[in-house]
Structure 1
Amino acid sequence: MTSQPTDILESLLTSTHRLTRIAAQETGRTTSPAVWRTLSILTTDGSLRVGDLAKASRVSQPTMTKLLRGLIDDELVYRIADVDDSRAWLIAISDKGTRALVEWRAQLADALGALFSDLDEAEWGVLDHAAQLLATRVSTEAVPA
């Protein structure tokens, strides 16, 4: 029996969420997922106003403002003046934030090593193809505003 596209997408979403949770738990780190999500958004979308960043992260603006205080204190992000509105600020990821995100993603991948250690070359090829396909679909150009 062939799965319907919506069933495949539902399975994919469920599996990727679970995979991320498993990897995060395996690392033993306690950093909030909101931190990594915020840094990821800034990496892919570039500098954003606080409200736009909150919307992209699916949190309230007060929640994002509180989160950003910690990220600024930790020098993972910084504020820059918005050239389009002198009253507003943009939030940008710092080099330190980029390094932290790259390190986090590497730790997640390493944490999953045992789970995938029995895959053969063909199965790795399938995962590679699926990862490339997903990457083309979720690029910032492909996501509707």
Structure 2
Amino acid sequence: MGVDQNPAAVGELFETVTVLMMRHVPAPDGLSLTAAATLSSLRRRGPQRITSLAVSQGVTQPSMTQLLRRLEDAGLVVRVADPTDGRVVLVELTAAGEETLRTRWNTRLAHLDKVLETLTAEERATLQRAAEQALPVAQKLVNSLAARY
């Protein structure tokens, strides 16, 4: 049975990778998943409205406002006026926010490296080949879904 007939196999792979990365390769920086995803969204898409960030993260606007206050207090984001409409406030990633994401990524890679050491060289090579083939397709899925928000 091919993938077209068995989307559960793809779902199981995504679930397994998610568990690996979230439970076993943590980033002990105190950021919640929503906070990290919000910072990443600002890095990828640039300054955004609070409402857009709330929709893309699947939270209410009041919840996003509270999260952004905490991120702003930490110096990770800043509110700026929309250059096309001065009445609109946008949220923008700061240099400190960018550094936090970079440090988070490097920390997670270091943890992942230790996890991968438990595999044989052949198993690591298999994962490397699979990642190289699957990554562009997974990125296409993420981009097509993100474009909806």
Q: Please classify the TM superposition score into its range, dividing by the shorter chain length.
A: 0.7 to 0.9
Structure with the larger strand share = 2
User: Cα 1:62–1:81, aligned 2, differ >3 Å: closer, same or farther?
Assistant: same
Q: Name the % identity.
A: 26
Where do 1:85-96 residues align within 5 Å?
A: 85-96=85-96
In structure 2, what is the Cα distance between the partners aligned to 1:144 and 1:49?
15
Which of 123, 132, 136 does residue 132 from structure 1 map onto? 136
Q: 1:38 Cα shift?
A: 0.8
Paired residue secondary structure (1:43): helix
The residue type equivalent to 1:83 in the other structure is P
CA-CA distance at 1:54 after TM superposition: 0.8
Aligned position for 1:18: 19
Structure 1's consecutive aligned runs of 4 or more residues displaced over 6 angstroms after TM superposition are none
* 1:144 and 2:148 are equivalent in the alignment: yes
If the length of structure 2 is used for normalisation, what is the TM-score? 0.82
Residues 136 and 142, structure 1, Cα contact 8 Å, conserved in 2? no
- Given that residues 42 and 48 in structure 1 are in contact (C-alpha distance below 8 angstroms), is that contact kept between their aligned partners in structure 2? yes
SS of the aligned residue for 2:54 comes to helix
1:2: Cα distance to partner? 4.7
Residue 11 of structure 1, CA deviation: 1.1
Taking only aligned residues, the RMSD between alpha carbons, in angstroms, comes to 2.3
Question: Unpaired runs of 5+ in structure 2?
Answer: none
Could you give the per-residue CA deviations for residues 20-66 of structure 1, whole angstroms, max 9, x where no partner exists? 22211xx4443222210110111112111111111111111111111
Q: CA 1:20 to 1:133, structure 2 compared with 1: closer, same or farther past 3 Å?
A: same
2:64 equivalent in structure 1: 64
Structure 1 residues without counterparts, runs of 5 or longer: none
Q: For this pair of structures, how many residues does the alignment match? A: 143
- TM-score, normalised with respect to structure 1: 0.84
